Structure 1
Amino acid sequence: MDSKLTYSPKEEESLRVGSKRGGWISFSFIIGIVTGSSLASTAIIGNLIVYLIREFNIKSINAAQIVNLVVGSTNLFPIVAAIIADSFFGSFHVAFASSCIALMGTVILTLTATMNSLKPHPCINGPTSCKPATTVQYTVLYISIVLISIGFGGARFTTASLGANQFDNQDHRATFFNWYFLAFFVSSGAALTVVVYIEDNLGWALGFGICAVATFVGLVVFLLGYRFYRHESPQGSALLDLARVFVASVRKWKCKVSSRVEDYYTKGHDMMVQLLPGNRLRFFNRAALITDADLHSDGSVKKSSWKICTIQQVEDFKKIFGILPLWSSSIFLSTPLAIHSSLTVLQALVMDRSLGSHFKIPASSIGVTVLVSNSIFITFLDRVLWPFWQKVTGKSPRPLRQIGVGHVLTILGMAVSALVESKRLKLAHGHVSMSVLWLFPQLVLVGIEEAFHFPGQVAFYYQQFPQSLRSTSTAMISTIIGISFYLSTALIDQVRRSTEWLPDDINHGKVDNVYWMLVLLGAINFVYYLLCSTSYKYEND
């Protein structure tokens, strides 16, 4: 971190009174749990399909479907955990409970690899001799997978929100998010190389045991920092407030919007100065409009939360509503990356993966290139490019600019992928295998794109979401990934039904056409993103 840090008045007061809560003093404890959980979750989920096929005699297609559910759930459950954190328990308690659930699931999964009674007998004379697992064995396995999905998913972004809540300075928050993603990608890279190698070559019990230890150590470090965290009280069911605004607005759709502040409902603790609701999305101002049906006989306002809302609730709803177009553009930004991640593995399987005469790169480990390039470039951005930008312009780059750069790099990465695949197909038709190293340039581009895209997304949502939805804000990126994963599966399925580009043997297909299709979709989505971003008005600046 920077050697000289400027503190907000709240942070300075905290230090003067000796509480020393919040700020960089809590940083190492939060990064500790991020590192441990990222290492464990990536090592388990990244190699789960192989474990199911080899150890539980599950057929490859069924194993792939199980893993798809796990990946989707792990990326979509953070939004549920964030809602619980915002509405009831706070980020710390949800992150702690989720990590305990993840640890429990990891331990149970380790037991399935350790105890012969918890897994079927291995296949001896080929697939025809394989015996399926028993009901008890399947039950124990699926319980562990469910706990792992819920636990790691729930802890992933509530820890990010807790970390961001320790800072009042926007620049410090941006720096924290950069280091958060750096820890995530470095840990994931180590998991996909070292731990996966241990699982495949030294034993599943040892590999999963390392995951359990990493989760436990991360949880202990997280608890050691408890007295240094700044804890923020839950703000109530904020998402229900959003639903109430919509319902109340529809109920009063015939009412005329007033220009008098006294015609709108406010609470003293909501707004220090009573103001009219903004003119943007004026239809929803009706939710705070006081009508005769909202008043008691003595003139007081009825406390019916589904018929009338405060001005603050209406303005919060408008903020979320205004962000949705940008959020949808990010889904279509991430979908090509999800497709690319699966297609590069298929390409690697039919390419020359030899390094020297004694080592062959595992096809599934090719994605480590993305993590390495991402980690390096995040560091470069945080230590070189962004400080230089701030020195020249006098201000930090806005998150939407970072996301825009991500769009451009995604299109460029898909174009490079198409050109490389076209060359590979020509060589394959001549019975020549192209070196897998030719995939590295496109993977490096994807890694650089993610260095712009992901931290920019998290910082944008955290800055622009209402205070009561801060935990939900950082889970938005995980929701984008989860939806993009399922959308990419549907898109590939549609391509296979409509064209002959993706046969089982891609040497007889046209994967390069798939990449060019993604270039076209990416360009259209970039135009859509430019329209959304140029019309968006920043909040909380």
Structure 2
Amino acid sequence: MEKPERVEGKVDWRGRTALKHKHGGMRTALMIIAAFGFENMANIALTVNLVTYFNGILHFELPDAANELTNYMGTSFFLTILVTVLTDTYIGRFKAVLFSGFIEFLGLALLTVQAHFPSLRPPLCNVFEKTWQCGKLKTGDAAFLFVALYLLAAGTAGFKAAFPTHGADQFDEKGPKETRQMSSLFNWLLLALCIGGAVSLTLIVWIQDERGWDWGFGISTVTILCGVIPS
């Protein structure tokens, strides 16, 4: 029986030399494309709607709410640089994707817990009553929020840094057919980003605003889990 051809410069998840027609290829890349779509579906809604959550539910002042969102997004992009270095130098792209997905899942799960349990957030505020004093987030609850938020930022950074190149790793650049497939991969990743973003900015934002933040965060948590499993 003919032995499978080895792919030089490529390894499987155990660090062994990859075998052509057994490891990688378009079938694996399709799962990565789907996972990329799920990941964007899970978190893009946060970039446009977290100010509403901070201001309306947690009673941050509007400038503070906007500042916390920009801090979160800036941290995520800054950490992308750090994760890129760690990925290429030490841990590898597959492990970076796996760890990042778990961290992002944990961050979303903690946000879901805080949104669900009234004891972890301020009581409801009657904005129509001028004399009503809106409660502020307690110190312990604020710590819970920021741990969740920056775990999410770290997880998102890992996905940005490692996911596209993890997809490209599934192809042997020395083969003409696989080179063309690798080129098409990035078009499909962009399509997955757009579809995931469209669903996130419409359906998940609507769920957060109309059905409750615990439902919105919960669905995002399940969605990122669906993204991590096939990746």
TM-score class, shorter-chain normalisation, is: 0.7 to 0.9
1:189 maps to: 198
For 2:78 and 2:179, the matched residues in 1 are separated by: 27
2:209 maps to: 200
Is the CA contact (8 Å cut-off) linking 1:35 and 1:183 kept in structure 2? Answer: yes
1:92 maps to: 94
Residues 427-481 of structure 1: CA distance to partner in whole angstroms, max 9, x if unpaired?
A: xxxxxxxxxxxxxxxxxxxxxxxxxxxxxxxxxxxxxxxxxxxxxxxxxxxxxxx
Amino acid at match of 1:153: A
Is the CA contact (8 Å cut-off) linking 1:57 and 1:122 kept in structure 2? Answer: no
User: 1:150 aligned to 2:154?
Assistant: yes
Amino acid at match of 1:212: T
Q: What does residue range 74-89 of structure 1 map to in structure 2 within 5 Å?
A: 74-89=76-91
1:264 maps to: none
Structure 1 unpaired stretches of 5+: 1-8, 223-541
For 1:62 and 1:182, the matched residues in 2 are separated by: 34
For 1:18 and 1:152, the matched residues in 2 are separated by: 31
- Give the length in aligned residue pairs: 211
**Aligned-residue offset at 1:158:** 0.3
**Aligned-residue offset at 1:10:** 4.4
Q: What does residue range 147-296 of structure 1 map to in structure 2 within 5 Å?
A: 147-167=151-171, 168=173, 169-222=178-231
**Aligned-residue offset at 1:127:** 8.5
Q: What does residue range 17-416 of structure 1 map to in structure 2 within 5 Å?
A: 20-124=22-126, 125=129, 129-167=133-171, 168=173, 169-222=178-231
Is the CA contact (8 Å cut-off) linking 2:108 and 2:220 kept in structure 1? Answer: yes
- Helix, strand or coil for the counterpart of 2:135? coil
Amino acid at match of 2:196: S
Is the CA contact (8 Å cut-off) linking 2:36 and 2:192 kept in structure 1? Answer: yes
Residues 1-28 of structure 1: CA distance to partner in whole angstroms, max 9, x if unpaired?
A: xxxxxxxx949xx9xx675112212112
Amino acid at match of 1:135: T
Is the CA contact (8 Å cut-off) linking 1:75 and 1:153 kept in structure 2? Answer: yes
Amino acid at match of 2:197: S
2:14 maps to: none
For 2:230 and 2:130, the matched residues in 1 are separated by: 46
For 1:126 and 1:85, the matched residues in 2 are separated by: 53
Note closer, same or farther for the CA distance 1:87–1:51 as it changes in structure 2 (3 Å cut). same
- The structure that has the greater radius of gyration is 1
Note closer, same or farther for the CA distance 1:74–1:164 as it changes in structure 2 (3 Å cut). same
Q: What is the TM-score with the length of structure 1 in the denominator?
A: 0.37
Residues 393-412 of structure 1: CA distance to partner in whole angstroms, max 9, x if unpaired?
A: xxxxxxxxxxxxxxxxxxxx
Percent identity reads: 27
**Aligned-residue offset at 1:171:** 3.0
Residues 368-395 of structure 1: CA distance to partner in whole angstroms, max 9, x if unpaired?
A: xxxxxxxxxxxxxxxxxxxxxxxxxxxx
**Aligned-residue offset at 1:181:** 1.2
Is the CA contact (8 Å cut-off) linking 2:7 and 2:20 kept in structure 1? Answer: no
**Aligned-residue offset at 1:149:** 0.5
2:16 maps to: none
Is the CA contact (8 Å cut-off) linking 1:44 and 1:211 kept in structure 2? Answer: no
Residues 487-516 of structure 1: CA distance to partner in whole angstroms, max 9, x if unpaired?
A: xxxxxxxxxxxxxxxxxxxxxxxxxxxxxx
Is the CA contact (8 Å cut-off) linking 2:40 and 2:197 kept in structure 1? Answer: yes
Note closer, same or farther for the CA distance 1:126–1:136 as it changes in structure 2 (3 Å cut). farther
For 1:126 and 1:49, the matched residues in 2 are separated by: 22
Higher relative contact order structure (alpha carbons within 8 Å, sequence separation ≥ 6): 2
1:517 maps to: none
Note closer, same or farther for the CA distance 1:154–1:91 as it changes in structure 2 (3 Å cut). same
Amino acid at match of 2:160: R
Amino acid at match of 2:161: F
Amino acid at match of 1:34: F
- Helix, strand or coil for the counterpart of 1:221? coil
For 2:169 and 2:189, the matched residues in 1 are separated by: 13
Note closer, same or farther for the CA distance 1:18–1:180 as it changes in structure 2 (3 Å cut). closer
Structure 2 unpaired stretches of 5+: 1-5, 12-18
Residues 183-216 of structure 1: CA distance to partner in whole angstroms, max 9, x if unpaired?
A: 0111011100011011101111111110000011
Amino acid at match of 2:48: G
